[in-house]
Every structure is written in C-alpha cells, then in structure tokens.
Chain A
Amino acid sequence: MKALKIQNVEKTFGSIKVLKGIDLEIEPGQFLILVGPSGCGKSTLLNMIAGLESVSNGNITIGDRDVTHLDPKDRDIAMVFQSYALYPNMTVKQNISFGLEINKTPKDELEATVAKVAKMLQIEPLLNRKPKQLSGGQRQRVAMGRALARDPSIYLFDEPLSNLDAKLRVEMRSEIKELHQRVGTTIVYVTHDQIEAMTLGDVIAVMKDGEIQQFGSPQDIYDNPKNQFVAGFMGSPSMNFVPCDVKQGMNGLVLVLESGGASHELPVENGIEGLSEYVGKKVVLGIRPEQLTQVSEDKPDTMTIPCLIEIIEPTGPDTMVTARLNGVRTVCRVHPTAQSKVGELMPLQFDMSKAVFFDPDTEQRIY
C-alpha cells in the first residue's frame, strides 16, 4: 500500500492548464518535497491533495482510499499554511482543539492531546493567548500544533517557513525534521527553497510549469539531474553551465575551453557514450562549484587550467571566485588561503568525475 498515489492529475483554470499530468507515489512515513519556482503549481497540487481545489482530471489515492472527489474533512489530512491561517478570535488552545472538537473527541482526551502537543512544541505558556499576541515563530508553532493534534494519515505543509527570518527558519527546519523522525507520519511539504528541499526530503519532486521534471532522492537529484533545469535549480551556488566544442583528442574526447586568453583541451572522463555523437558540435558542460577548486596534489584524475579571476566572494569556510570560461562566468569554490587577486590568473583544478553534459537545444542530459 502506498501512502499517497497521484495518477495523471491535471488542473485547468479556465483555459489555462496549470498542472499537466502529475504522477507520483510515496511510501508510508516518507517525507515528500514538492519544489519548484514560483507559479509552477506546487500549492495547487497540494490543495488538490487536501481537497480544497477540485481535480480536473486524474486520481488521488490516500492509503487504500480513492479521495479524488471527497471533501477535505473526509480525507484524513492536516495542513499547515504559509500564512499560518490561525483562527483570529480563538485562543491558542482553542485553535489547537477546534478540529478535535468538531470530530466530537471526548473532553478528557481532547485536553490530553492539547497538553501533549503543547509540550512537544513548547508552547504551553501561550495556550491562553490570541494569535494577535504571538510572534511569527510562535504562530508557526501553533499552526503546526493544530495539525499535530489531529493525528492524520498525511500532513500537508505549504511553505510553512517562508515568513520567518533566516535564523528561525534554520531552527524550525531542524525541528520539523526531528518531529517527522519522532512521529513518523507521511508528510508532503511544498517549498521553493532548494536547501529546505535537500535537508528535509526523503524524496523530492522538482516541478516546473505544471510538470514534474524529476522525482527521486535528494542525493540522486543533486548528482544525476535529468536536465539542465533541475541541475540549475538544485544546489547553491548553482551549477555552472559552460558551452563547449567537443573534439576528438589523442586519448579520447576533449572539450575546448578558452580561459585567460589561451585555449585548453579538457579531457572527458570515459563512460559517457552519448557524447561521441557530439564531436564537432557544442555541448553544455555542467560542473558544480565544488568541482572547480584550488590545485591540490592528491587528486590525480583532474586537469589544471589557469583562469582569470573576476570576482571574489568569501563566505567563511570557502571563498567563491568567479572566472570566465568560454565567455561564461563560472563560480569556483576554493579554500580561503588559496584565493588569489581579482584580475590575476589562478590555476584551478577541474574534477571531471562528477561533471554532466547537456544538449544545448533540448537541455536534456547526455548519458
């Protein structure tokens, strides 16, 4: 049995198709992330799972029940909203217990649940306050408490952290992760923040324009993006995309790289057979900043190319230096002690073992 199964789900508003056939399945207890740029249809999909938005086409199954046409109250779900959506005229306690009260939970059980949830989220001192008298972080906790009290089969989160400041966001992120590990209930979590997606998710669905671009584990999506959009969306700073000519070299294929006024030939790791069809044509080399580093002796399967440094941005543990390769700005992650000066040539080491290649026209990965 799957916890949630979405089959060929579509959504049209008027004449606009906002979701174009979504398919996905998750196991019980999994933490699913829906991630994608603004307007790609994440909230719409989540609202359809919740039953707040009608389904134009397709099926949604929760557990072994087809819920496609059920009311939200019959779906056994709980939801946390981006704006928290607390009931303004009720106290924190009433907010948390409202759902239980409607389900005619016995009074003592209701009290016990509220107490348990309040303890778990450390909001006991706030129980008699109104939402107006709470800070953003406290409201966020109450919103989660309201969902937790319900004990549903799936939790739905719509960007719950995006209204918090940076520090609180990081704290709440780990609290949500810890909560999931403790409670073990299936979660569907919408975000447009790829760091939240990577850190929280068991599985990630990367969406764009109403379609799922890739569905997989965070590491798989990071290491093996299916196309240039996914590669660029996941990871921060994002992957560099350098258009290069492919040539037949002496020991296999090479990419031609123009850097610091000179032309270099970068050998391609073997094993990417699709690349041989591109000899004499252009491909897009996708290489993450951490694969472009200062020269260190202990990495034999690499190639060193001198690059002209244009920008230097220290972040603390690493320094991001921007060089220009084939006319494209390329971010490299170097050790702070190794950084050189703007306008100087710096030898950079290319680790091609994890480099990926894309077709410049279709933007699809070349395998």
Chain B
Amino acid sequence: MNVSSSSRQSLGTLLPKIVVAPTFVVTLVFIYGFMLWNAWLSFSSSRMLPKYDWAGFIQYEKLFANDRWWVAAQNLLVFGGLFIVICLLVGLFLAIFLDQKIRAEGAIRTIYLYPMALSFIVTGTVWKWILNPELGIQRMVREMGFESFSFDWLVNADMAIYTVVLAGVWQSSGFVMALCLAGLRGVDENVVKAARVDGASMPLIYRRIIIPGLGPVFFSALIVLTHIAIKSFDLIVALTGGGPGYATDVPATFMYTYSFTRGQIGLGSAASMMMLMAVVAIIVPYLYSELRERKQ
C-alpha cells in the first residue's frame, strides 16, 4: 500500500516534468544552443562552411569596416524610428476617431485591424505592385491625364526605405489602434465630465487627462513594435529585396545575404550577434522593470 501510493505520488510530481521536458530540450538546443553556436562562429574564420577555429575579433572588424553594414544599420534606425513613431501616432489618432461614438464602428475597426491578419510577405508584395511606377499609382495617375506625374520612391535609392515604412505602418497601425481603443474605453466617462465642468475643451481633455492615462498601453505597443522593427526581414525581402542596390538593406537582410548567398558565414554571424545585442539592450531593462514590479 505504502509503496504503491508513494510511487504514484512520485509519478504525479514527475509527469508535468516529463511532459515539459521535450519543449525544454528543444528550446535549450535550438534557441540557446544555436545562439552559442552562432556566437562561436562569429569568432571563427568561417567562410563558405563553418570552421571551428579561433580568429578573435576579425569578423567584427570586417563588419565595422563594411559600408553596406552601416547602410543597413542606418536604415534600421530610420525605418525603426519612423515605423514606431508613425504607428503610434496613426494608431492613437484612429482610436480617438473611433471613440467618438461614430456609426458602423465595428465595421471600421475590423477594416483597420484586418492588415494585421496578413503576413508581411503579402503586405510587401501588394505594396510592391501598388508602388511600382509601371503598374501602380504612378501609372494610374498618368492614365488619368497627368502625364508628368512621377512617384518612383520604390526604385529611388534615397526614398525606397520610406516605402518600407509606409507598408509597415499600413500593416501594424491597426494593432496599435486596437490597443489604444481598449485603453480609451477604460477611461471613466465621469472623469471626462468632470473635466468638462472644470472648463476643459475636448482636445485639452485628451492631451492632459486621457492620453497620459494610456502610458502602459503605449509601453506595450512600443515593445511589440520595436521587436517587429529589429526583426523585420520578410517585408523588405518582399517589397524591395533590399534594393535598389543595397539601399534598403537592414541588418536582418544583410546577415542573410552574407551568410547564405555570399559565403561569409563568420561575417553573417557577427551581424546577428549585433542584432542580438540590440534586442537584449531593449528587452532586459523591460523584463527587469516588469519583474521588480511583480515582486512589490
């Protein structure tokens, strides 16, 4: 009796561990293991195939001497900055607009949220067609009679990165809108009434009372948008392919190009390590503040 009940008990405590174990092992190997592998490769002299020697910081030196890397890094700053700021502004603006008790709100909300359901590949492809001077907007306007109209951002090396911003904002601002709308709906309507009695106009009420109360909403949106921006790869591949030339390269496409098409695995690994550092620099303070709050 005693033996069987204690063995059943130990099975009961073991079972969850057994069930979780495969996931744990897979995570350990395929995420953290490969991260370490990648770190090692970035310190090796690997080119076409992985080589497990120690080459010191040679790959990083090559990376920092590479013009194309700096274009990619700068593009990430431009794209990430504009993408995040515009998404937040557009999302907030749409949410405020939808919060005015307008008719057909449900339908409009769905329309704005719908792009979220598409993959970046689809978004990128669709916008490629729309922005293509031979197929899309430029041709349409010219056919309407404005022969001199020109809209060639997609193939203009200076402007192409902004088309990526445009497509990214189109896809993601609906998500920010949904977050903000939920936040706005949580505002006590009596607080708004009190502010009106105090003499505040609606714009002032939004500016001083409602929007400051959305702080946590903006913070969540910021974290999500930032990691979308840093990891963005598929959108650029589908929309511009990193071109024209390498004008719209970002670190993710840079890493892919060098590792898998140019036979420079070591350099690619060094680039991915730089991306990992960027993500860590954002996520760690976030987790730290979250965990500290939880503890209190």
Contacts and interface: CB of A to CB of B under 8 A. Distances in A.
Interface of A: 47, 50-52, 71-73, 77-79, 81-83, 85-90, 98-99, 102-103, 146, 150
Interface in B245-264: none
Interface in B183-199: 188, 190-191, 193-199
Contacts of B190: 81-83, 85
B198 A102 contact: yes
Nearest to A82: B190
A75 B161 CA distance: 53
B213 A88 contact: yes
B197 A52 contact: yes
B199 A85 contact: no
Nearest to A94: B208
B209 A72 contact: no
A73 B197 contact: yes
Contact of B200 (A78, A79, A81, A102): A102
A78 B194 CA distance: 9
B204 interface: yes
Residue picked from A71, A79, A85, A86, most chain B C-beta under 10 Å: A85
Given A78-B198, A85-B191, 7 more contacts: A51-B196, A73-B199, A73-B200, A81-B190, A85-B193, A85-B194, A99-B199
B191 A102 contact: no
A83 B199 contact: no
B103 to A, nearest CB: 15
Interface residues of B, number: 17
Secondary structure class of chain B's binding surface, majority of residues: helix
B277 to A, nearest CB: 35
Contacts of A73: 196-200
A327 B198 CA distance: 55
B212 interface: yes
B188 A83 contact: yes
B197 A50 contact: yes
A261 to B, nearest CB: 57
A140 to B, nearest CB: 14
Nearest to A99: B198
A119 to B, nearest CB: 21
Contacts of A102: 198-200, 204
Contacts of A50: 193, 197
Contacts of B212: 89
Contact of B196 (A52, A83, A86, A89): A52
Contacts of B197: 50-52, 72-73, 77-79, 99
A10 to B, nearest CB: 21
A89 B199 contact: no
Contact of B193 (A78, A81, A103, A146): A81
A85 B198 CA distance: 12
19 contacts: A50-B193, A51-B197, A52-B193, A52-B197, A72-B197, A72-B199, A73-B196, A73-B197, A73-B199, A79-B197, A81-B194, A85-B190, A85-B194, A87-B191, A89-B209, A89-B212, A89-B213, A89-B215, A146-B198
B195 to A, nearest CB: 7
B195 A98 contact: yes
Contact of B198 (A47, A82, A88, A98): A98
Residue picked from A50, A73, A86, A146, most chain B C-beta under 10 Å: A73
Contacts of B191: 85-88
A86 B198 CA distance: 12
Contacts of A77: 197
B188 to A, nearest CB: 6
Residue picked from B193, B197, B215, most chain A C-beta under 10 Å: B197
Interface in B208-253: 208-209, 212-213, 215
Contacts of A81: 190, 193-194
Nearest to A131: B191
Nearest to A80: B194
A200 to B, nearest CB: 21
Nearest to A102: B199
B199 A87 contact: no
Given A83-B188, A88-B213, A89-B213, A103 B199 contact: yes
A72 B201 CA distance: 10
Nearest to A88: B213
A82 B188 CA distance: 12
A98 B188 contact: no
Contacts of A79: 193-194, 197
Contacts of B188: 83, 85
Given A85-B190, A87-B209, A89-B209, A98 B200 contact: yes
A90 B190 CA distance: 15
Closest 7 CB pairs of A and B: A99-B198, A73-B199, A85-B190, A85-B194, A89-B212, A102-B199, A85-B191
A20 B245 CA distance: 75
B257 to A, nearest CB: 47
A102 B196 CA distance: 11
Nearest to B196: A72
A337 B199 CA distance: 59
A248 B159 CA distance: 104
Nearest to B187: A88
Contacts of A99: 197-199
Residue picked from A52, A78, A150, most chain B C-beta under 10 Å: A52
Contacts of A85: 188, 190-191, 193-194
Contacts of B195: 87, 98
Contacts of B196: 51-52, 71-73
A51 to B, nearest CB: 8
A267 to B, nearest CB: 55
Contacts of B208: 87, 98
A175 to B, nearest CB: 21
Contacts of A71: 196
A87 B196 CA distance: 12
A13 to B, nearest CB: 14
